[in-house]
Structures are given as structure tokens and as C-alpha cells.
Structure 1
Amino acid sequence: MHTPQLNKQRQQLKVLIENKVTFAADNSELSIYDTYQNAQKVALHSKELLFCAMLSGKKVMHVESCQYHKAFLPHESFVLAPEQGVLIDFEQASLSAPTTCLAIEISTDKITQVANALNIEQRFASDDLFAYTPQLVHSQHNSQTQQLLARMVHLFSEPDEQRGYLIDLSLNELITRLLQQQSRDLLLKNGNNSQFKTPVNNALQYIEEHLNEALDIERLCKIACMSRSKFYQQFKLAFGTSPALWQQQLRLKKAYSKLLQGRTVSQACYELGFNCPSHFSRLFKHAYGVPPASIAKKSH
């Protein structure tokens, strides 16, 4: 994630801990933070939602309000709710290998605007399926989100006649991805709650409970009480992906956990319905940026 303007400003080093370069736009602000020496308990706080992504190095995040203490690594997203603070430890930062993080501050009004637009289109659940929940989010993000963030760095940092318009489009996409993740987690978590008990939620639970089986679209359409075309259209709107790719993401996420628990690459592969370890390894590396064998080594 390099642009001429960004590189020029990052070279103007002012401090060694959290050296900040910022680019502002309507409803948002993008910043790049570089840290060049080890440090502990460095505070970060924002009045608005703060979407963070690690670019290089490692941080350990401490959020006392929810007793959260975990490492933050590249290819991961860390989203702080408005007014939520975090204390950060830098364990691997140096002048030759700085720890670098991207942070995008987004106004609450903009998030509400996107949520309202999505709720007009969706037919999956209640009218307020898409509503931002102000809570900590820490997860691996996929290649599409990684590409979106790279595009946003370019849009914010480089001059363009359509800069404001294009930034707004990219913000809509980033907020949509966050809301889709939260709505999906909400439906899965509350599957047995009558308020959230919908035919579509039943379909989601079926996928979750049969990860090692081939996807049966006809069965899912019957469970959701929708035609094939309607099911695909609404699924894409609500969760930002197709049923098959969503199942794949769930499989890979489960595989990541199994590898950390001591499973071999082959065991994780076949237990989750993949037919070829080499194909599984390619998908895994594309999703997480590292081969599954390197995750398996961490458990030993």
C-alpha cells in the first residue's frame, strides 16, 4: 500500500512511536501509523468508529472494557466502537522493520446511512437486520477486503477530480462488509431465538452444521422458501458473497482453528470436506496470506 504522496509524508519522521500521516474526506479520515521502536501501553481512542488493519509487524491489543488481550497481525481487521479505547504493546518494532497500521475513522451518520439503504433492499429478516452494533470486532479479513483497503489508500492519498465521489463509494463498500459480518454473526448467534428464527437463518445453520458436505443449493432454497435466483440475490446482499464462497470461508476459518489445535494439514483438509490438500493449501494461503503448514507449526 504505497503511493507517492503517502511515501513522501511517511519519510517526514516526527516521532518514533505511532508516527501518523492523515488524509481527510467527508465523513471519514484515513491514517497510516508507523512505529519504529518497542513500546507498551500506547493509547488509541476515537470518538467515531475506527477500522484498523495491520500492514506489517505485530501489535498486542488491550481493551479493558471487555477484557480483551490479543495479538493483532497482518491480514486482520480490528474495529473499535465509538469512544472505545485500546492500549497497544509494540513487541517487534524497529527502525529497519517498523510496525505499520492503517486506520479509517468513519462517522456514525455515514454508517447509519448505509445501514438504512441496505435494509430497504434485504428481504431476509426483520427490517433492521443491518444495524451497526457498537462492539469490538477482531477477525481475519479476506482478499477482497485487502484489495479494497489498498484502493482506499490510493484514493485518500492521491489527487483526483472525482476523489470525494470515489472515496464515498469505497466507504459504502467497507461499511457494507462490516454490517454484513455483524448481521451474519447476529443471525447465527441467535438462531434459536424466535425473534431471529427465519427460513434464511435455518439455511445458514444448515450450512454451518454440514461444512464437510457438498453444498446442496436446492435444499437450501427449500429451507429458505425462495426460488434459486431470489436466494442467490438476497444471500449476496446480506452476506456479501455467494453461498458456495461463504461455505468455503467458514471451512477455512474452521480449518485455521483446527490447525492451532494440533491437526495436521491433511487432517484439517479432509475433515472439512476439501478433496485435495494442495488445493486446500492454495485457498488457505490466498485467504490468510500464509500456508496452513505455518499455522500448524505454531501448535507444536
Structure 2
Amino acid sequence: MNLPNEFYRNRKLENLVENQTSYTLNNAALHIFETHEQAERVLLQFDKPVLASMLKGKKIMHLREKQSFNFLPGESLILPSDELMCIDFPEAQANNPTQCLAMAIDEDKIDKVLEHMNELMPKADAGEWSLMDYNFHFTNDVGIYQILQRLLFLFTENHPSKDLFVDNMLEELIIRILQTNSRKIYTEQSFNLSSSNRLAFIVEHIRNNLHNSLSVKNLSKKACMSESNFYRVFKNELGISPTDFINNERIKLAVSLLQNPNKSIKQVYQECGFESRSYFNRVFKSRKKVAPGDYQSKLNVSA
């Protein structure tokens, strides 16, 4: 993710550690932090919910009720209001600064989006959308990456209508983040939730039957829902279609199986439930940007 040229033209470099450039609009404020020298235990706190996203370099985050972890480019973190961050910058240099964005979003704006989601995108089993109240660390998918890149441009642009533009982008960003969080919860806690939640039951069934044929028609029957309603609710809650979710899980399994140099590509795609090598190759390459055979070969060379 790149900072727009407009940012560099207007920003003032006043501090070597967490130099802050801020842009404030009606419902959100965007802060760009740059650190040009190594530092430890730098404290930072916001009075609103914050999306932090790494642009360049590496941070080590120390958060309340969470183990310390590396924070790297392409990753984001959702923080509740008043969360105290303690940050290390082990690799920051004058000619290679760490860069991170922090977007503080008004809670009224978030509440309006949640109200809209609960009205138009109701969750399965009468659940309600709500803002996660813990530190959610995730890798940006393509959709979130593109929104953040667009927001960087909009905040730094001198345009009379940028408040309106940003408002629309914020709504989509909040929805996508909540869907990403929901997808993570269902994936990591599907077993515990499966007895009381239909989608969790379906996720658990998918993960236990990747080697078998899995169709939206049969999954909807297991969920006791019509096919169209199942597809809609699944995509609303997890942010992707059932077929894309199945393929993502199959590719995760394929990556694990390809660690074994004695596994043939045919064995791998059959164990993952793909019906043909050509379809497996296409799906694998779309996710990993490399063919499965080349991926396995690289693993063997580096082993």
C-alpha cells in the first residue's frame, strides 16, 4: 500500500519517532505515523475505535490481554476506544521508516452501519451484528486493501465533496471488517458453536468433508434453509460465497499436503476434493499466485 504524493508534499517531519500527520473529517480522522529510528515501549491511545494498518516496516505490538506480536505490512488491527498500545520499532531507520495508518471512526457512524446491517443483512439464528470488543488482528483481503488505498487518497485529496466520498467508503470498510471477523470466528470456533448456530455447523461440516463433494444445494439442506436464503445469509455473514469459502479451505489443506515431497499433485487435489487437476491448478494459482507444482518444488529446494 502506497501513500499518495499529496501526503509527502504537505506533511511536516517534526519527530523521528511516531511523526504524526492527521486529516480530520466529519465521521473519521486519519493519522499517518512514521518512525525513522529504532525505539521501544512507545505508548499510543485513541478515544475512539481505531483501525490500524501497517504500510511499511515492522512493529512489535504489546496490547492488554493479548500476547505480543509482529505487526507487518498488509495486516490490520481493530482496537476498541481507549485501548493503550505499547509499540516497539526494532528495524526503523532514517532511510527506511516504519509507516502505519490509524483511522479513528466515530462510534455513531459505526452504530448506524450496524443498524443498517441488522435491518438488511440479518444474521442466521436471530443473531445481531455488533462491533467486536477485543483486539482483532487480521490480514487484509483484496477488498479491504483496495478500500484502504482509496481512503488514503481521499483523505489527502483537496476535494469539496471528500466528506461524502469517505463516508461511503467507511460504510463498506466497516461491513467488510465485520464479515472478516465473523469468518474468523466461524473458522476457529466452528466446533464449539456448531450445536447452536447453523452456519457454524455448516462450516464445521465443510472442514470435515473437504475430500467429499460439497454443493450449495446439499449444504442448504443441512442448514434447513432454502438454497437462495442459505447462499444470501452465508455471504452476508462471512463476506464470501459458500463456494469461495470451500475453495479457500481446500487450498489451505493443499498447502499443508504439499509440504510432503512424496505426495503427487494428483494425490493432493483428490484428497482436497477437487474433481480435476486443471480446476485445482486454477484455484490454487488464483490464491497463491503460483502453480501447485512450482509451489511444492520451491518447498523442496528450501528444505
Which interval holds the TM-score relative to the shorter structure? 0.7 to 0.9
Deviations 1:166-207 (A, max 9, x none): 11111111111222233344455265458x723333222222
Distance change (3 Å), C-alpha of 1:184 and 1:93:
same
Distance change (3 Å), C-alpha of 1:79 and 1:101:
same
1:58-207 superposed matches below 5 A: 58-63=58-63, 65-187=64-186, 189=189, 192-193=192-193, 197-207=196-206
1:1-300 superposed matches below 5 A: 1-10=2-11, 12-63=12-63, 65-187=64-186, 189=189, 192-193=192-193, 197-251=196-250, 258=256, 263=259, 270=268, 272=272, 275=277, 276=280, 280-285=284-289
Deviation at 1:215, TM superposition (A): 3.6
SS at match of 1:5: helix
Name the CA distance, whole Å, in 2 between partners of 1:156 and 1:253. 36
Name the CA distance, whole Å, in 2 between partners of 1:203 and 1:79. 27
Q: Which amino acid aligns with 1:240?
A: G
Deviation at 1:229, TM superposition (A): 2.4
2:49/2:104 contact within 8 Å kept:
yes
Q: Which amino acid aligns with 2:234?
A: F
Work out the percentage of aligned pairs sharing the same amino acid.
Answer: 30
SS at match of 1:146: helix
Larger radius of gyration: 2
Distance change (3 Å), C-alpha of 1:91 and 1:211:
farther
1:264/1:296 contact within 8 Å kept:
no
2:216/2:231 contact within 8 Å kept:
no
Deviations 1:99-154 (A, max 9, x none): 11111111222222111111112344244431112100111121111111001111
2:190/2:203 contact within 8 Å kept:
no
1:48/1:107 contact within 8 Å kept:
yes
Deviations 1:206-260 (A, max 9, x none): 223334555421111112223332222222222222112223444556677x59x
1:191/1:197 contact within 8 Å kept:
no
Distance change (3 Å), C-alpha of 1:233 and 1:72:
same
Distance change (3 Å), C-alpha of 1:2 and 1:192:
closer
2:45/2:85 contact within 8 Å kept:
yes
Name the CA distance, whole Å, in 1 between partners of 2:65 and 2:220. 39
Distance change (3 Å), C-alpha of 1:109 and 1:154:
same
SS at match of 1:152: helix
1:124/1:200 contact within 8 Å kept:
no
Name the CA distance, whole Å, in 1 between partners of 2:153 and 2:77. 21
Deviations 1:251-272 (A, max 9, x none): 556677x59xx93699698365
Question: Any unmatched runs of 5+ in structure 1?
Answer: none
Distance change (3 Å), C-alpha of 1:97 and 1:212:
farther
Deviations 1:23-78 (A, max 9, x none): 11122111111111111111111111111111111111111x21420101111111
Distance change (3 Å), C-alpha of 1:89 and 1:171:
same
1:5/1:158 contact within 8 Å kept:
yes
Report how many aligned residue pairs link the two structures.
Answer: 289
Name the CA distance, whole Å, in 2 between partners of 1:267 and 1:27. 53
Bigger mean CA deviation after superposition, 108-117 or 36-45:
108-117
SS at match of 1:78: strand
Q: Which amino acid aligns with 1:135?
A: Y
2:48/2:106 contact within 8 Å kept:
yes
Question: Any unmatched runs of 5+ in structure 2?
Answer: none
- The alignment's TM-score, normalised by the length of structure 2, stands at 0.82
